[in-house]
Structures are given as structure tokens and as C-alpha cells.
Amino acid sequence: MNKQDRYLWEIAEQQHGQRIDQVLATLSGLTRARVQQLLSEGNIWKEGAQGTILKRSLKVAVGDVYHMLIPQAQPLRLEPECIDLDILFEDEHLIVVNKPAGMVVHPSHGHDSGTLVHALLYHCETLPGINGVERPGIVHRLDKDTSGSLVVAKTETAHLGLSKLFAHHDLRREYIAWCRGSPCWAKKRIALPIGRHPHHRQKMAVNPHGKMAVTDARLEKRYHQNFCRIRLTLHTGRTHQIRVHLSYEQVPVLADPVYGRKFNPSKQVPEPAYTRLKQLNRQALHAEVLAFKHPVTGEPILCRAPLPDELQKLDIALRALS
């Protein structure tokens, strides 16, 4: 989507009576929050009534015509940083990187340098604006201490297309987790709602009032009754989804400081597994596979992020327990 283009939509019969923010989010591929922002700024108007601020709760009617203007993005004042990127795929529209553990995706309080955003600003000449601010086109995230495949849009068109893919869950995302314990199942679909923890607001939890989250889990390896490796396929993208679901299933991700409970391996765990477990300073979760249809060219894209050294060595050490 070009940042300065104006868009026009006519309300169809099946959209009659729905909220304007919901309808225009679906039609444009923008987030509902972004549409609400544009409404409050007067950048969405009904034909013949420009200058009237529309309420987000307005119900649209069949035949209504609405205009949307995407204003010029405001620059984000960040200095590009020369940080090496492990690039799995790149063309003029998008880039897929193998994010290392320890790297934060976006700048935030306490993380004002060394992020993936800083690296992308150095690597890419142009990047699309999001929500009116010029910053790299991140359409999904990985936790700081999760490694693996992450796709970034380099153009507005790619950003719009990727956003739709993620919104419709029309792509394949496979993770590998090394876990404590061993499940009683070999394969399971975990379909449980996730929301804020009722007592710890910085945590997520299985919560009946949360949003439904669906994870397919397949046991790949039992190393010992105390450890296993699980392959996971995401069908939704809730915050901390895999970590919350596996903790609920009583097979928490190794070295997860939030959902894994404090764990010190017993001296009864033989070497070299004992040393590798003691040295593990990141959660043992890796986003290995990212597969999708290119939002511009239509070609199938399959990216497989190689395991980082510490997870390779952990896997080898745990295999010795079998």
C-alpha cells in the first residue's frame, strides 16, 4: 500500500450493519487499531462528507462509499546499526532472517540499541511505515530469547500482503522445543484460550476469558523420562502461546524463566547433559520453519532456520541419555 494513496470502498450487502472499524480493517488489511487511529484523525470519511470525524462504532449500510487516506509516515528517530544478519531469503519486497536468541525485535524500555529494527535500518534502504510511523515492516515477533525464522516487509504492498497472511493464519510456522518432563501423548492438538494471568499482569496464562489459541504438538524424541523434544505448529499467534500451552501440559520449555519454574538439574543427570543444562542461558525454543506464499510474486517461500550452536549441543547431550 503506497503511503500517500487514497483508497475507496463501497459497502456490500453482506457488510451491512457491521461496525466501520471492523469492515475497513477487513477490506484494507490494516489492523483494527490502525483503522481506529485513522478514523480519529479524520483520514477516513464518507463520500461527500470529508471533514466529519466518524465514530469507530458507526454501523455501515449497503451502498455507503468510504474514502481512506494513508498519511505520510513520520520518521522514527533511530540510528541504524551495523549488526550482522543471518538472511534466509531476500528480494525487493521482503526479507526473512534467522533471529538469534538475545536479540529484541523492537526498541523498548531498556532496549534502545542492538535490536533487529536497528539492524534492518542499516541493511535496508527503504522500509514501510506502520501505524503512521516509519519503522521496519515487522508483521510478527519472536520473544527475545527465542531464535529462528522471522519475516519482515520491505514495501507497503508486501506489508499489507503479509499482514493478511498472518491474520488468516495462511502460512506454516513450525517450532522445536526442548522440554522438561515427558508427555503421555505422542501427538496432540492443544486448543486452549490464552489471556492475561489473573495475578501476574506481565504473564499470560490459559484463561477462559482469553482468545482461543491452537497449537499442534508432536513428540519427536524422548531422551529420558525427564526430557523430550517436541515439534509444534502454530495455528494462531497469541503472545507466548507455545510457552503457555506447554507449561499447561506440564512439559515446560527448558530454561524458560517465566513459565518453566525454577529448574536446577540434579547431579544424577549424567554428563554431558548436566553441563549443557546448567549452561543453557536462553529458553530452548526455536522457530525452525516459516513457509508462505509470497504476497507479491505468488511464489512459494520455504525458510528453514538452522539450529544455533547451543541448541545443537544440547540436543546431542540429551540424546546420550536415551
| Residues annotated catalytic, as ranges | 143
88: Cβ–Cβ under 8 A, 6 or more apart, which residues?
96, 97, 98, 149, 303, 304, 305
Measured in whole angstroms, how far is the alpha carbon of residue 84 from the centre of its chain? 21
Cell representation of residue 116 = 533487529
DSSP secondary structure, 155-208, as one string: SHHHHHHHHHHHHTT-SEEEEEEEEES--S-SEEEEEEEEEE-SS-TTSEEE-T
CA dist., res. 14 & res. 18, Å (int): 9
The Cα–Cα gap between 266 and 278 comes to 10
The distance from CA 166 to its chain's CA centroid, rounded to whole angstroms, is 8
